[in-house]
Structure 1
């Protein structure tokens, strides 16, 4: 303990940075829901306002060969600028200087989308418009890109005062918009995983090989943060653990315990329910406590025990990915029906999270209970 205090006294800037990101309680779930609505709404409006994808898809359907050397790079640059002005910049503003207008921006975007849909109906172009909508795979790609975009913006902005403290990671109980990042990555990976595509031929050696980059990044992060004496919040994952190790552990668990994607959703819910019961039985007090023994598990208790929450969330994502892309029983069904079911599922999870947060246990990044 004395050596830790000595290190802090030798590096006062590190101590100030740790205090700047410590003792935070997060935001409300309704505000997080509003912020989570803004990003996909902007992406949807940008897609609707652009005819690039439609023209490209039409060229592919006609069997035309598109030669890379003939690309119009100026057009690509202009598209990039428009994407930045219509998606990246608005997200950056709402997450910083316009944070007090988050609800208004969210409601306005939803109303704008609703008006556009009604306009398409009134123009009797609904059928044609729907036929030009991007595929579900394109939607998932947009979701994954949005997750990376918001993560990068928040990670870069969190060290500045212009970034609202309630958006940063909460200390123990509560949640900020940054607390959604890790869960979003897990779901994004699950939707396009081998398990979601019902590929069960992967051997254990192949699974180990596939997680080797994550293990490498995990150790690289340890070495880099310690090498530059960067502040690391021990209460997030533990002394040595980080999110790369969590992703690797989830991948190994999923490879060892092979579950058909049809049943992954139910199994994932059971794992989350069992983990929450374990937490309520006393595990939460152990994880919240700052006391740590010398063993490796105690040193990294937050990261190791939270694997159960991430695994349950991953299995639910696998089930959803299988339902959207692989399940042959859904072939030929109206795409709108699938979209509506996904919306209902998302709303159900939001309502469930609010109920659990109010009556069971507060949301906690430290215990990964927000995955429930």
Structure 2
């Protein structure tokens, strides 16, 4: 890559100030909107009961292309796109009777038997759709950001502000935290002590090593091809895989509080919410009361060697740890099996915790007196609360759609296969997406691509990722990294 072009690409993603939270919410609302249309097609017409090439094409358009369009061609008209997607669902709702019958309520003598034989952590449609949609948005954005068709206000903010891609990074960590709650829940429900710290650390290192290896591979590839880098994102050597890789050992240590909380009868949701808040508030105090904030934002990058060269990645790690813990707290009440009698209770929990995180975020904002700006670069307190609020709102939206359309239906009926596939091998697909992003940037000058050629490249890219994900799912292959 020519030096001048490298500098142009670096400037293209640098010194950005982001956009409004309301616009980000409207753009990302396309994911729940497409799930509504999928649900209408499925429940009113039974469209996806047989899954052939036509069904795949429609599924791909809803689950992937609509999200791509919301961040590119329709980026200035997100409300219009949402209305265009939801309108057919409304017409189907008004014009067609329900195609799937709600199963009869089981007799009381069978309830206990069915409950005891059900899996402890059943697959839940709304969680799969949430995680799959988040992965699709992330994959779309990491390449689209290099094209002019992707608005600069959606790209990562330099210091202060909010953007679509800023939510994507935090959402990835939050989603991973949700799924990590399973081991804690198992110990809590069984009323048993967790593994000894040494055993937990050993297991954590096994989980960390592949991620750290991916981080090293990415570092070598980026430096080897002289790829354009946004240094203030994580630092000179640090990347997102290192952040993910260093999380498990710290979590293994923090899980030491679980046995004590279990013996005291404290709900694990409260335990991990408290851990998240203590970490977030403590980190914010350190930022404000020491010179850390100034050092990260304007400090000499070569003052302390590797530490100062990677000051963003090292400092923001505390914030991502807090986000991960908030995700774990959410997983505590969304992952376990629930009976029909408990479903309204689950709705109250989901909505209640969404309101909690949203109100907490609002309290840190200017209008409420604290006047703390959001900073993804620092991963500070408002950023942590914003990510938690955004993700719990997304979970709430998907749950409401599932409850409204698919209550009592089988899991396979309620989940788009494309999103199921992205969810199943999310990290592997994300890695491939990173590789494709590098290949595209090395092969073509993305800055000079006009709208139609750019959309052709982006659509082909997301189609290849979708075919790979669905192909792995059809072959019943799960790639664990």
TM-score, normalised via structure 2 length: 0.63
Structure 2 counterparts to residues 320-359 of structure 1, below 5 A: 320-326=330-336, 333-358=341-366, 359=370
How many residue pairs match? The answer is 341
**Alignment-derived partner of residue 229 in structure 1:** 226
1:87 to 49, 52, 63: 63
1:343 Cα deviation from its structure 2 partner: 3.0
Deviation string, structure 1 residues 234-268 (Cα, Å, up to 9, x no partner): 11111111111111111110012213244111111
Structure 1: gaps (5+ residues): 1-7, 58-71
Q: CA RMSD in A?
A: 3.4
Aligned mate of 1:256, from 231, 243, 253: 253
Structure 2 equivalent of residue 69 of structure 1: none
Q: Does 1:42 align with 2:16?
A: no
Q: Which has the higher contact order (CA 8 A, sep 6+)?
A: 2
SS state at 2:227 partner: coil
1:267 aligns with 2:275: yes
Question: How far off is 1:230 after superposition?
Answer: 0.7
> What is the CA–CA distance in structure 2 between the aligned matches of 1:357 and 1:112, rounded to whole Å?
38
Q: How does 1:103-142 map to 2 (within 5 A)?
A: 103-106=79-82, 128=102, 137-142=124-129
Q: Helix, strand or coil for the counterpart of 2:146?
A: coil
Q: Is residue 204–residue 252 contact of structure 2 (8 Å, CA) maintained in 1?
A: yes
What are the superposed Cα offsets for residues 247-300 of structure 1, whole Å, 9 maximum, x if unpaired? 111111001221324411111112111112222224322211141214322221
Task: Give the alignment of 1:1-372 within 5 angstroms.
Answer: 11-50=3-42, 75-106=51-82, 128=102, 137-193=124-180, 194-198=182-186, 200-201=194-195, 203-258=200-255, 259-260=257-258, 261-262=268-269, 263-282=271-290, 283-292=292-301, 293-326=303-336, 333-358=341-366, 359-369=370-380, 370-372=383-385
Q: Is the 8 A contact 2:67 2:136 kept in 1?
A: no
Q: CA deviation at 1:152?
A: 1.0
Post-superposition shift, 1:126?
11
Query: Secondary structure of 1:241's partner?
Result: coil
Query: 2: CA distance between counterparts of 1:203 and 1:102?
Result: 45
Identify if the C-alpha distance between structure 1 residues 336 and 310 changes in structure 2 by more than 3 Å, giving closer, same or farther: same
Whether the 8 Å CA contact 2:27–2:75 is kept in 1: the answer is no
SS at match of 1:175: coil
**Distance change (3 Å), C-alpha of 1:152 and 1:305:** same
Structure-2 change in CA distance of 1:197 and 1:334 (3 Å): closer
SS in 1 for 2:300: coil
CA shift, 1:79, in A, is 2.2
| Shift in alpha-carbon separation, 1:136–1:21, aligned structure 2, 3 A | same
Change (3 A) 1:256 1:76: farther
Runs (4 or more) in structure 1 with deviation over 4 Å come to 54-57, 106-113, 115-120, 122-127
Q: 1:189 to 1:97 in 2, by over 3 A?
A: same
Q: Deviations over 1:89-118 (max 9, x none)?
A: 2222221121111134446767887x6899
Decide whether the 8 Å contact of 2:74 with 2:81 is kept in 1.
Answer: no
In the alignment, structure 2 segments of 5+ residues that lack a partner are 106-121, 188-193, 259-267, 386-481
Q: Is the 8 A contact 2:243 2:313 kept in 1?
A: yes
Q: Paired residue for 1:60?
A: none
Tell whether the 8 Å contact from 1:29 to 1:175 is kept in structure 2 after alignment: yes
Which deviations, in whole Å up to 9, do the C-alpha atoms of 1:37-67 show, x marking residues without a partner? 2212212431342269x8999xxxxxxxxxx
